[in-house]
Amino acid sequence: MSDKFPELEDIADSDLATGGDFLSREKELLGDEFQTEQDTPAQAESSDDEFDAFESQFPEVGNSADAQAEAPVYEPSTEATEAAYGKQTQQDNAIDNEVSDKFGSLNLEESEHIQKWQAERTKEIEQRDSIAIAKKTELQKTAEQNIDDFYENYNVKKDELIKATRDEEEKYVKELNSFLVDSDGGSVWDKAVELLKLSKTSSGLVTVKGTAGSGKEGGYEEIRDKSRFRDLLLSLKGKTNVPGALAV
């Protein structure tokens, strides 16, 4: 009897086992298509367990506090830094001294190219100086010649002008004396009429010109009537018995 009708507990256990296997197979076939909110905590717990297991096997190096604490930190000492700097300074000074010694051992005065350059430069300076001196000397000679020519021409023209003036003066005095002393010339009034070139047909108007310093600005011209004086001189012409007819 018990074989035909098994106990209810066994049936329940077998159904649960069969049901669990069925759900697992369906989940594998369908994936997350019919996943519910109740399935999420279980999966999260499973994934968290797997992540914790992975971290336990492979701990982080960069973010771990213990790893950072255990990692050695290199801090160079002051003595090592000063020693390295001093060594580098000594090397630099040695190089500078070596270069200075090489250039200092050079005798620039004995260099063939420098001697040639100095000789050419000295020659060029001498040529420039000689050309400048020659130009200066020529300019001085030209200036002196021009000054001499000026004074020579000035003196010649001055002498010529003085001689011409004296000749004209002598000629005028001679003519004046002959005009006054010559008895054949008539009376004084006759000579005055002749000197003034007066005649009955000559005009008696005389133009008198003044300058700015004579009392009128800008100068002036004034026409005066001298016809009465002309007539008086003409009336005295040829008369020897009038006052002043004979020169004393």
Q: What DSSP string describes the chain? A: -TTTS--HHHHHHHHHHHHHHHHHHHHHHHTTTT--TTHHHHHHHHHHHHHHHHHHHS--SSS-HHHHHHS------HHHHHHHHHHHHHHHHHHHHHHHHHHHT--GGG-HHHHHHHHHHHHHHHHHHHHHHHHHHHHHHHHHHHHHHHHHHHHHHHHHHHHHHHHHHHHHHHHHHHHHH-GGG--HHHHHHHHHT--TTS--EEEEEE-GGGTSTT-EEEEEE-HHHHHHHHHHTT-SSSTT-S--
Task: Give the pLDDT confidence of 162-219 residue by residue, as tens digits.
Answer: 999 999 999 988 887 776 666 555 677 777 777 777 666 666 665 555 555 555 555 5
Give residue 96's identity as a one-letter amino acid code. Answer: D
Task: Give the pLDDT confidence of 51-109 residue by residue, as tens digits.
Answer: 677 767 666 655 554 545 555 555 555 666 666 666 677 777 777 766 666 666 666 66
Q: Which of 144, 163, 181 is the last residue of a domain?
A: 181
71 within a domain of the structure (yes/no): no
Say whether both 54 and 16 belong to one domain: yes
Give dist(CA 177, CA 243) in Å, integer.
21
Say whether both 135 and 193 belong to one domain: no
How many structural domains is the chain composed of?
3
Say whether both 162 and 189 belong to one domain: no
225 within a domain of the structure (yes/no): yes
111 within a domain of the structure (yes/no): no
Say whether both 190 and 177 belong to one domain: no
170 within a domain of the structure (yes/no): yes
Say whether both 157 and 123 belong to one domain: yes
Task: Give the pLDDT confidence of 145-172 residue by residue, as tens digits.
Answer: 999 999 999 999 999 999 999 999 999 8
